[in-house]
A and B are shown apart, each in its own frame.
Chain A
Amino acid sequence: MTPASQHDPDYNYAYLDEATKRMLRRCLLKAIAIPGYQVPFASREMPLARGWGTGGIQITAAIIGPADTLKVIDQGADDTTNAVSIRHFFARVTAVATTEETTKASLIQTRHRIPEEPLRDGQILVYQVPLPEPLRKLIPSESETRKIHAWAEYGPIYVRLYEDIAQYGHVTSTYSHPILVNDRYIASPTPIPKFDNPKMHMSPALQLFGAGREKRLYAIPPYTKVKSLDFEDYPFALQRWDEPCALCGSTSSYLDEVIINDANERMFVCSDTHYCETRRAEGHEGPQLAKAQSVRLTGCAP
């Protein structure tokens, strides 16, 4: 954990001016009051590029304070380039304490994953959202999709799922599998793997979603019902792996496939790097841990 220090005096605390933060907080309150509803907001240009987390960054900037401890993950990992970049950004403009430990973080900004470690009361999970509209692939027009949400006329998305089953025998979405929030709005869980969808249901943490380029915010308040869309005879099903994590032996985490040499040898390892490291520190050992160390895959400095 990196402790708090002094923020960059050339910029306002957390980069955005206070009027912008107030606008964002008002929109967030509205989003929390109407779970799953996409609230338009006057998204600002940020010093990171659109599509690289500007929605999540604006939410974090609007709610972060000196008492917070921030964790930033991308694809489940704390050490991927963009996670490092965003963590550096907030360290510079807020000087808050940062951490990789899920349990120690009060605020977690994420792209594409929910941590394996269950979240608790009082934590806030901020999602970076590329495409907030779950119906966009079916209906390109925003005017149309807003009407569909207003009327809750969600037929087309079920037809899409049905067509998948009719054609392939499966629902073919593996990530961004649409969710019904609080029995009212269909929302995009962002491109988290469907493996993570159940973690959203009745989560004790507040879940906030920011799409900077598309200028929409939405929220799932703590302890809110979240259902992944399915049919009675084709219930929602999760991804499974035939083997445990090669490093920590976990059989219940989301695994990434890593190609380890040019002979096409591969291993499956936890995508949540902190979870994997914690398990290894606790003495859990995966079947290929020794081999991984020899090819420097465990994230240890060489």
Chain B
Amino acid sequence: MYLAVKGGEAAIDATHQLLAETRRGDPTVPEVSVTQIKEQMALLVARVMNEGALYDENLAALALKQAQGDVIEAAFLLRAYRTTLPRFGSSLPLDTTAMAIRRRISATFKDLPGGQVLGSTYDYTHRLFDFALTNSGNEAQAVTAPEPLDAVMPRVLDILGDEGLIEREEPRDSDAIPEDITRDTTTFPAGRAVRLQSLSRGDEGFLLGLAYSVQRGYGHNHPFAGEIRLGEIRVCLTPEELGFEIDIGDITITECQMITQFTGSKAVPPQFTRGYGLVFGHNERKAMSMAVVDRALKAAELGETPTFPAQQQEFVLYHCDNVEAAGFLEHLKLPHYVDFQGELELVRRMRAENSAPTKVETP
């Protein structure tokens, strides 16, 4: 027998307790620690920091533990927490040429100043199971390069820029105080800073799908991976009361600059155009997807007709936020019986009217 049950307070308390028990899993298995997640699931932690829009590896690892590894739920925990943090100011622009490089590759030049630095990547691995990982006790030791890397590595796109072959990107006056999507409402057409902020914390899967759609012809713009670099970088801030720059710590970032063909328009001679991606931690797929979509979103500014989803600002920016999307989708689990009652009543009434005997016209 089915009983219409409403969620009372006791039921909700009980479900929270059950959740805690389910999260813990089999109590005979050792509990995973936040430090273990941070150290051994670093790529996952990076994804949560990006989508959660907060650089804090410990909190991201805690979020993953609390969310049983659900990425969007973990990102949501970070977002809800960052809301409560006071805001001290904006950091100074990052100088990525001064990054302590861990990996730096270019697909457009065979060699370049500073060289190709392969770093740690799955790119050149065979995706065959390493069954040794099933057991604990794995120790691994990397070899140290014979000489250190260059302290400053020029960006590939700056090399092209010196020849005037690529779209110039210079700070505009309005860039001094960047817009902030967490403090201002997005209006359309949205500025580049707003677009990049939205993409940077957008859903990796959604951006990957959009970037892939561009590659497959839905707004084709033929991207080349001009440069991808990964490493640690100083974040600096000039507090008003001090008036000089202070170093507030290092973060790990992945930067991607895409180079894209552009045949020119009436106003602009043929040249290459740029797409830019910058994300927390090591996440090349996200940085590359972001760069391809960033370029696609420049369509209107470059005189292209924004026909395809990846080129449409409202479509991309409104729908790339997975915390918002997940919340709204899953709210369908909330009761809707009041509205459904209205629909039931209408459908029944219309069906009754349709089946009512129609008058037969007599000649």
A residues touching B (Cβ–Cβ < 8 Å)?
11-12, 15-17, 40-47, 49-52, 54, 74-77, 79-82, 84-85, 111-113, 130, 140-143, 168-170, 172, 174-176, 191-195, 213, 215, 239, 241, 254-262, 271, 295-297, 299, 301
Contacts and interface: CB of A to CB of B under 8 A. Distances in A.
B83 A295 contact: no
Contacts of B331: 49-52, 130
A176 B342 CA distance: 11
Nearest to A83: B7
3 A-B pairs with least C-beta separation: A174-B342, A50-B327, A51-B331
B6 interface: yes
B82 A45 contact: yes
Contact of A256 (B186, B338, B349): B338
17 contacts: A42-B182, A49-B330, A50-B327, A50-B328, A51-B327, A74-B335, A84-B8, A112-B336, A130-B328, A169-B353, A194-B342, A255-B341, A256-B337, A256-B338, A257-B344, A259-B4, A295-B3
A45 B341 contact: no
B353 A45 contact: no
Interface in B309-356: 314, 323-331, 334-339, 341-346, 349-350, 353
Given A17-B86, A50-B328, A82-B334, A77 B339 contact: no
A181 B339 CA distance: 22
B191 to A, nearest CB: 14
A297 B328 contact: no
B212 to A, nearest CB: 23
Given A40-B185, A79-B6, 8 more contacts: A44-B182, A47-B80, A50-B331, A82-B334, A85-B12, A257-B341, A257-B344, A297-B4
Given A75-B337, A174-B345, A261 B1 contact: yes
Nearest to A169: B353
A112 B338 contact: yes
B127 interface: no
Contacts of B185: 40-43, 215
B327 A75 contact: no
A81 B79 contact: no
Say what secondary structure dominates the interface of chain A.
loop
B40 interface: no
A76 B338 contact: yes
Given A51-B327, A75-B336, A170 B341 contact: no
Contacts of B8: 79, 84, 301
A193 B341 contact: yes
A82 B15 CA distance: 13
Interface size grouping (class) on chain B: 35 or more
Contacts of B329: 51
A172 B346 contact: yes
Contacts of A296: 3
Contacts of A256: 337-338, 341
A192 B182 CA distance: 30
B188 interface: yes
Interface in B54-112: 76, 79-80, 82-84, 86
Contact of A84 (B7, B80, B84, B188): B7
Nearest to B2: A262
A81 B14 CA distance: 12
A254 B342 CA distance: 10
Interface string B174-199: 00000000111111110000000000
B84 A213 contact: no
Nearest to B349: A170
Nearest to A80: B335
Contacts of A142: 188, 314
Contacts of A141: 314
A132 B338 CA distance: 19
Contact of A174 (B2, B314, B339): B339
Nearest to B84: A11
A193 B346 CA distance: 12
Contact of A75 (B82, B83, B338): B338
Listed residue (A45, A54, A174, A191) with the most chain B CB atoms within 10 angstroms of its CB = A45
A143 B314 contact: yes
Nearest to B11: A81
A261 B2 contact: yes
Contacts of B349: 170
Contacts of A143: 188-189, 314
Listed residue (A254, A256, A299) with the most chain B CB atoms within 10 angstroms of its CB = A256
A272 B85 CA distance: 38
A180 B83 CA distance: 35
B339 A50 contact: no
A17 B314 CA distance: 30
A193 B80 contact: no
Contact of B328 (A46, A79, A193, A213): A213
A213 B327 contact: yes
Nearest to B5: A296
Nearest to B331: A51
Contact of A168 (B86, B338, B345, B350): B350
Contact of B4 (A239, A260, A301): A260
Contacts of A195: 342
Interface string B1-27: 111101111001000000000000000
Contacts of B1: 261-262
A34 B55 CA distance: 40
Listed residue (A40, A44, A271) with the most chain B CB atoms within 10 angstroms of its CB = A44
A263 to B, nearest CB: 9
B334 A46 contact: no
